[in-house]
Amino acid sequence: MNAPDGPDGVVHDWIPSPLPDTVFDPLPHRLLHEEPVARVRLPYGEGHAWLVTRYEDVKLVASDPRLSRARTVGRPVTSMTPHTLAPAGGVGRADPPDHTRLRRLIAPTFGRRRMTALREHTERMASTLALRTLETGPPADLAESFVGPMSATVIAELLGVPAADLDRVQAWRAGILSNDTTAAAGEAVKKEIAGYFADLARHRAAHPGDDLVSELAAARGTGGISTPELVSMAVMLTLNGLDAVRNIVSTMAYVLLVHPAQTAKLRAAPDRLPRAVDELLRYIPQRDGVGMPRIVTADIEVGGVTLREGEAVYVFYPAANRDPSVYTDPDRLDLDRDEAPHLAFGHGAHYCAGARLARMEAEVMLGTLLARFPALALAVPPGQVAWRTGTVNRGPEALPVTW
Ligand code: HEM
């Protein structure tokens, strides 16, 4: 329902519901075409915010220093969830110079050199897990038996989270990323996970290993990062590494399986895989609803609309990825597409810190599946795949396959 909002125009009520498959949320899709800078009101928080959906406008908002993340702290901006997903003190809600300092601390761990070194190890792990799956099936649930364990192990090793603790961390993940947890329950889970990482950092400061939590604990010793910053960094990296990768790579496998002709071409030319992964990232709407807002610190014109100082703004990257002025036939999957870079990892200073890791994991997992399972197919009709509900990141609950 749309409510007139005085002389300023219409506010669109946006109540994102869990969508199956790769179905695109109809409201932002319509706004992209009809009202690319629009006012929206989400289920929680107060007032309304701007929603920006076109490719060039999204890039402008995401990279202009007049937009602040730090100014969202303590403000009940209209939002997707009753509790804020990102804690204050985290990179996602910091501006320079704090933001720059925090990103520098983690850059080497997620940089090109480290990822190249990690790829071989990840490939071996994927081969071993694929063989085990081959021995125990068909059928198999690819999400839980292959993609999930792979992404969990990779991030746990990088960060230095003991494998024995992963189940506990997974349970916290479900609580934090849920969009129907109450504010109090969300805060309680966040407190628990914060306590866990504070303890882990204390332990690693005394017994350092070759992992990121040890590095951050050392940086804390020299004043490079505070305890709350360290904890929220560890939480954010763990949750993204566990959840975003598990959901999106499972969805990528699903999309390949429901596009058999394009997948057959890809199987015959595996060097095309990196390009195919980018097209899958562009095409898949990876989340329900929208990420974190920004606050306007000085008036700025976006797509012919003046956003005023103090107003809240959201960009919607999945819509920008479907902008018809940038992509030919944008709602169609085309694994050979060679157009503008997608914005699935965001843009500007807050560009996804784990983009290289996510890309590498997707390439390794999909490459292994294509090579080891020449007859891979869904074990149920596409309409019977169950999709996650009540959580911000979209993905299949299970991905039953046969071969
Ligand atoms: C395919 C999987 C992933 C997708 C699609 C994705 C997407 C995104 C997006 C859209 C943003 C927000 C950009 C913004 O705020 O404007 C982001 C931020 C971030 N992502 Fe990812 N991400 C993925 C995987 C990962 C992984 C594996 C990690 C690390 C383990 C990670 C760590 C982060 C961090 C730390 C930020 C905050 C960066 C900042 O605010 O400076 N992400 N990601």
Q: In what order do the strands lie in the sheet with 67-68?
A: 2-4, 10-13, 37-41, 49-52, 312-315, 294-296, 67-68
Report how many domains make up the chain.
1
Encoded tokens for 48 = 């309304």
Confirm if 294 and 68 have CB atoms less than 8 A apart.
yes
**Residue 4 pairs with which residues in a beta bridge?**
10
Residue 48's CB is within 10 A of a number of other CB atoms, namely 22
**Nearest alpha carbon to residue 148 among 369, 402, 365, 403:** 365
Q: Is the CB of 240 under 6 A from ligand 1?
A: yes
C-alpha dist (Å) from residue 110 to 8, 33, 156, 211, 241: 44, 36, 14, 12, 12
- Mutation to probe ligand 1, out of 91, 93, 240, 277 (largest number of atoms < 8 A from CB): 240
Encoded tokens for 195 = 């306590």
For CA atoms 152, 157, 159, 160, give the dihedral sign.
positive
pLDDT tens, N- to C-terminus, the chain (403 residues): 444 444 457 999 999 888 999 999 999 999 999 999 999 999 999 999 999 999 999 999 999 999 999 999 989 999 988 766 566 678 999 999 999 999 999 999 999 999 999 999 999 999 999 999 999 989 999 999 999 999 999 999 999 999 889 888 888 877 776 666 666 777 788 888 889 999 999 999 999 999 999 999 999 999 999 999 999 999 889 989 988 999 999 999 999 999 999 999 999 999 999 999 999 999 999 888 898 999 999 999 999 999 999 999 999 999 999 999 999 999 999 999 999 999 999 999 999 999 999 999 999 999 999 999 999 999 999 999 999 987 778 999 999 999 9
| Helix, strand or coil, per DSSP, at residue 373 | coil
Query: What is the tens place of the pLDDT at every residue in 360-387?
Result: 999 999 999 999 999 999 999 999 999 9
DSSP code per residue over 71-88: GGTT--B-BSSSS-SSPT
Query: What is the tens place of the pLDDT at every residue in 59-105?
Result: 999 999 999 999 999 899 999 887 665 666 789 999 999 999 999 99
Q: Is the CB of 253 under 6 A from ligand 1?
A: no
Q: Is the CB of 42 under 6 A from ligand 1?
A: no
| Residue nearest (by alpha carbon) to ligand 1 atom 29 | 354
Q: Is the CB of 147 under 6 A from ligand 1?
A: no
The enclosing domain of 135 has a CATH number of: 1.10.630.10
Domain limits at 376?
Answer: 2-402
With pLDDT > 70 as the criterion, what percentage of the chain qualifies?
Answer: 95
Confirm if 154 and 121 have CB atoms less than 8 A apart.
no
- Mutation to probe ligand 1, out of 91, 100, 321, 352 (largest number of atoms < 8 A from CB): 352
Please state whether beta strands 312-315 and 49-52 pair in parallel, antiparallel, or not at all (unpaired): parallel
